[in-house]
Amino acid sequence: MQFDSPTSPHGHARTSVTRVMLRVIYALIPGIAAYIYFFGWGVAINILLACVVALVCEGTVLRARSRPVWPFITDGSAVVTAMLLALALPPLSPWWLTLCGTAFAIVVGKQLYGGLGYNPFNPAMLGYVMLLISFPLEMTSWTAPQMLLDVKLGLIDAATAIFAGRLPEGLPIDAFTMASPLDTLKTQLLLDQTVSNVIATSPIFGNIGGKGWEWISGGFLVGGLWLIYMKVISWHIPAAMLGALFAVAAIFYLIDANTHATPWFHLVSGATMLGAFFIATDPVSAATTNPGRLVYAAGIGILVYVIRAWGGYPDGVAFAVLLMNMTAPTIDYYFRPRVFGHDRK
Amino acid sequence: MSANLFHDGVDILHGQRRLWSFHGGVHPPQHKHESTNLPVIRAELPERLILPLHQHIGEPAEPIVQVGDKVLKGQMIGRAHEFLSAPVHASTSGTIVDIGEYAVPHPSGLNATCIVIEPDGEDRGLEHPRVGDYLQLAPSALRNLIREAGIVGLGGAGFPSYIKLNPGKLDGIDTLILNGIECEPYITCDDMLMREYPREIIAGLRVMQHALQARVCVLAIEDNKPEAFRALHDAALHEAGIEVILCPTIYPQGSEKQLIKVITGKEVPANGLAIHIGIVCHNVATALAVHHAVEHGRPLVSRYVTVTGAGVSQPRNLDVAFGTPVRDLIIQCGGDPAAVKRLIMGGPMMGYALHSHAVPVIKTTNCIIAATEADIVPPRPVMPCIRCGACADACPVMLLPQQLYWYAHTNDLDKVQEYNLFDCIECGCCSYVCPSNIPLVQYYRYAKGAIWTKEREHEQADIARQRHEFRLDRLAREKAEREARRRLKKASLAKNQDKTPHTEEAVDND
Ligand code: SF4
Ligand code: SF4
């Protein structure tokens, strides 16, 4: 008589990669909802388009690499990558921008490195940076928040704008776009304006950050905290990244409040919250030890500030994440937890 | 549950010592109540008892009976010659019908030497001399008595207990911990034992305390066993120096080093033993066995075994004579051995799957899970490691299972050791939580095996090289000596040619 005899443990927790990724997707919902509320249906169309492209690319490459397609298509990781990339794009980006970025993220950023688990860089950020370098104009023409617009864009309008490059009533897309708050602040500061002046004169600023952005960031914060609560991510990366960004911003703010935005502004602006809870925490490309994660994420927080303040781009989350991705293996090697029964080294 | 712990209106947890915690751990579904509903009964004696000579850690016992001999229950049939060994006793009266190779409980499904007894049905016991007052015995005599009773750690490890009852160079130890944690799911044999024999367990604990000259005794029970806790709490109420404490349930709290951390806050050094920090841990069932041996002169011939899983209709605990085949237990609990999908000896986290249901229950068998599809998740596809760190968060040893996996998987045997592979206790927490379903522990076992093999080969090569060098050395030395002799002879010959001839003999005789 023979039984099947695999080794212990014989049980397994109810968990899987798909489950983890699904939770990440659920956690994105509040932020996405706020984003759609403030910036219109374009956001939703971008996300949907990116997801379809990602799944098609993933499936095609998996087949070409003669890897099993079904388990990897359903693991949810391609969808998460697509969503993160789409969230980083301007809400009325032309369709080909989303397509190029997503295809690059999945094919080059993920599959060419060996697929799930083997990509040293965050694929979504790789796709984003590729777009930013190749199509700087498209990537920085941000839609204005809906409340600043006279015409409200419906679902059909947004779709026409994205797929046909036209707007209703023959309006040019430019009528709906303006620089993002981080961008505005950056250009205006270069023109020797003071921070308080810029914020007071431009309508895109709200109470602490950009109008609408405060809510979107709040949505991502809520989703992110839920992920920590559900133990999908650990607190180390968000805490260290936000903490470091806040600390550096606070130092410069205290030195000169005229030329440096408040630390709060940095926390709710651009991709800070999305980055802290959803991008920097991408497990594959992040540091994997808990002490290492603190160092890794603090590095991101500092780099975000440096790029925002002195770099050539308005937001620095993508570059900061990619730069720290490179250091993750080294950080993991040097920052290991103390093993039970061993002395602290 | 805490309502149960109010006794005569007093919260009996009040004043309990401060507890610590260890890193990680998991909370798998308990599945304990299934086997605690029915009372414990004696398992029926099988047609033949198969008693392996190796039921413990260390050297196997050597048979001291022959085929055809009649034996009585409790009679020694295998003697322990080595220091690290334990004797084996007949678990009922009957006739020795064979001494040979039989399948024994082992992960690799191997055969080993067993003594087979055909019971005569009378279950006649040997008259054992009573010890009287153990306090009058010299500690070494007490230990010897425990050794001769064949007692080994009954929590699952099977380490000969008498060795762990020796304080060694210390005058006495600091804390004696009696482990009633039983943290693995499904297993309830210690729970039932504690409910039924609280006084005897405390008495056994006293014997152990005496042997070790322990200052404090702590009996630790997880809070999923309130009945057992109350029974022992009451039994120890007027016993000075014994603390019965309740610990929050978490796996693997019953692992010795983790339990020591929880109770004392101290970590046993990685390459050290608990006794090095003045602590010794024993299992509650071992304490009961010690009590029986010392108080009644009864050697260890049976134990409580949990028989559970969806493959049996009456999961329960049985008092099983060693050597009883697992098949008989499954049948007695209303199961069909042929319908069982996986037969697990031990718990679901650390137990191993048996290859055959003909293997016998031995001293370390605490649980048999006759598992069907209802108990086992069907295998899901193994995905690549996504480096999520869930494994590291669950590891009670604070290892980095994802890194260990990476290096084990790429066969980098130096790196896995640098990441402290040998500190891994194979508790399975990492595999349990891994979203990619990677059988991590399997990789670690494999890597450990590969390193041992390599080291053995290395050693053997070393020995061979040493032998070779030694031989060359010897040859060279012999040659040099011969050479020297010849030269000496020549020289003296030359000298003697012009002197007296009788010295030539002297030179020849050297
Ligand atoms: S839990 Fe599994 S997937 Fe996650 S890091 Fe550990 S081994 Fe990798
Ligand atoms: S099996 Fe080893 S590595 Fe895995 S959790 Fe247990 S001790 Fe840690």
Task: Say if ligand 1 is within 6 A of residue B50 CB.
Answer: no
Residue closest to B91 by CA, chosen among B50, B145, B147, B58 = B50
**Domain boundaries, position B388:** 382-510
Å between A114 CA and nearest CA of chain B: 10
pLDDT score, position B217: 95
pLDDT score, position B508: 40
Q: Which CATH number covers residue B331?
A: 3.10.20.600
**Domain boundaries, position A97:** 17-334
Minimum-distance ligand to the CA of B25?
2
Cα angle B469, B471, B472; round to 5: 65
Q: Is it the case that residue A263 has pLDDT exceeding 60?
A: yes
Residue closest to B178 by CA, chosen among B287, B44, B305 = B287
Where do we find the tokens 């194979």?
B426
Helix (H, G, I), strand (E, B) or coil at A280: coil
**Radius of gyration for chain B, computed over Cα atoms and rounded to the nearest angstrom:** 29
Q: Based on the structure, what is the number of domains in chain B?
A: 3
Q: DSSP secondary-structure letter at A113?
A: G
Ligand 1: nearest atom to the Cα of B390: 1
Question: Which pLDDT tens digit goes with each residue over A56-74?
Answer: 999 999 999 999 999 899 9
> Both B213 and B338 in a single domain?
no
Report yes or no: B205 and B178 within 8 Å, Cβ to Cβ: yes
In a domain, residue A268? The reply is: yes
Q: Which residues of chain B lie closer than 8 angstroms to A16, CB-CB? A: 380, 383, 435-437
pLDDT score, position B14: 61
Specify the amino acid at residue B450: A
Report yes or no: A122 and A82 within 8 Å, Cβ to Cβ: no
**How far apart are alpha carbons B125 and B306 in whole angstroms?**
25
Taking CB atoms and an 8 Å limit, are A71 and B383 in contact across chains?
Answer: yes
Where do we find the tokens 């990669």?
A17
**How far apart are alpha carbons A277 and A272 in whole angstroms?**
9
- For residues A143-157, give the mean pLDDT: 73
In a domain, residue B69? The reply is: no
pLDDT score, position A115: 92
Report yes or no: B402 and B391 within 8 Å, Cβ to Cβ: yes
Å between B376 CA and nearest CA of chain A: 6
Which domain-ending residue is among B325, B345, B375? B375
Question: B401 CA distance to ligand 2 centroid (A)?
Answer: 7
pLDDT score, position B487: 81
In a domain, residue A341? The reply is: no
Q: Which residues of chain B have pLDDT under 50?
A: 1-4, 9, 500-510
Specify the amino acid at residue A182: L
Question: Which pLDDT tens digit goes with each residue over B458-507?
Answer: 888 888 888 888 788 888 888 888 888 888 777 777 766 655 444 434 34
Q: Which helix (H) or strand (E) holds B390?
A: helix B390-394
Which residues have any ligand 2 atom within 6 Å of their CB? B 394-395, 397, 399, 401, 424-430, 440-441, 444
B476 phi, psi to nearest 5 deg: -65, -40
> Both B273 and B343 in a single domain?
no
Tell me which residue in B268, B356, B441 faces A7 most closely, judged by beta carbons: B441
Report yes or no: B136 and B122 within 8 Å, Cβ to Cβ: no
**How far apart are alpha carbons A290 and B400 in whole angstroms?**
10
B378-to-A71, A208, B341 alpha-carbon distances in Å: 15, 52, 11
Report yes or no: A148 and A203 within 8 Å, Cβ to Cβ: yes
pLDDT score, position A223: 97
**How far apart are alpha carbons B354 and A106 in whole angstroms?**
45
In a domain, residue B153? The reply is: yes
Taking CB atoms and an 8 Å limit, are A5 and B109 in contact across chains?
Answer: yes
Minimum-distance ligand to the CA of B448?
2
In a domain, residue B337? The reply is: yes
Taking CB atoms and an 8 Å limit, are A17 and B436 in contact across chains?
Answer: yes
Ligand 2 mutation target, pool B23, B261, B391, B397, most atoms within 8 A of CB: B397
In a domain, residue A166? The reply is: yes
**How far apart are alpha carbons B160 and B409 in whole angstroms?**
35
Which domain-ending residue is among B298, B321, B343? B298
pTM passes above 0.80:
yes
B15-to-B37, B71, B176 alpha-carbon distances in Å: 32, 52, 19
In a domain, residue A8? The reply is: no
Spatial neighbors of B224 by CB under 8 A, at least 6 apart, are B1, B30, B32, B249
**How far apart are alpha carbons A339 and B224 in whole angstroms?**
29
Mutate to test the interface with A, among B398, B419, B426, B440 (most CBs of A within 10 A): B398
> Both B221 and B329 in a single domain?
no
In a domain, residue A1? The reply is: no
Taking CB atoms and an 8 Å limit, are A8 and B22 in contact across chains?
Answer: no
Ligand 1: nearest atom to the Cα of B437: 2
Which domain-ending residue is among B375, B402, B418? B375
The residue whose CA has the least distance to atom 6 of ligand 2 is B427
Spatial neighbors of A81 by CB under 8 A, at least 6 apart, are A54, A102, A105, A106, A109, A110, A123, A124, A127
Spatial neighbors of B149 by CB under 8 A, at least 6 apart, are B89, B289, B292, B293, B298, B299, B300
Q: Which residues of chain A lie closer than 8 angstroms to B441, CB-CB? A: 7-9
Tell me which residue in B257, B403, B435 faces A15 most closely, judged by beta carbons: B435
> Both B229 and B256 in a single domain?
yes
Name the burial class of residue B81, with classes exposed (0-12), middle (13-18) and buried (19+) by CB atoms within 10 angstroms of its CB.
exposed
> Both B330 and B278 in a single domain?
no
Q: Which helix (H) or strand (E) holds B219?
A: strand B216-222
Å between B474 CA and nearest CA of chain A: 46
In a domain, residue B24? The reply is: yes
Q: How far is CA A147 from the centre of its chain?
A: 24
Question: Which pLDDT tens digit goes with each residue over A157-201?
Answer: 888 888 887 776 666 666 666 677 777 777 777 777 777 777 777
> Both B422 and B456 in a single domain?
yes
Ligand 1 mutation target, pool B382, B383, B386, B429, most atoms within 8 A of CB: B386
Q: Is it the case that residue A29 has pLDDT exceeding 90?
A: yes
The residue whose CA has the least distance to atom 5 of ligand 2 is B395
Ligand 2 mutation target, pool B393, B406, B429, most atoms within 8 A of CB: B429
Ligand 2: nearest atom to the Cα of B440: 4
Nearest residue of A to residue B327, measured between CA atoms:
A1
pLDDT score, position A1: 38
B419-to-A336, B397, B407, B444, B449 alpha-carbon distances in Å: 9, 12, 9, 12, 16
Residue ranges with strand state E in B76-167:
76-79, 88-89, 94-103, 111-119
Percent of chain A with pLDDT over 70: 91
**Radius of gyration for chain A, computed over Cα atoms and rounded to the nearest angstrom:** 21
What the block records as the tokens of B318 is: 């049985």
B47 phi, psi to nearest 5 deg: -65, -35
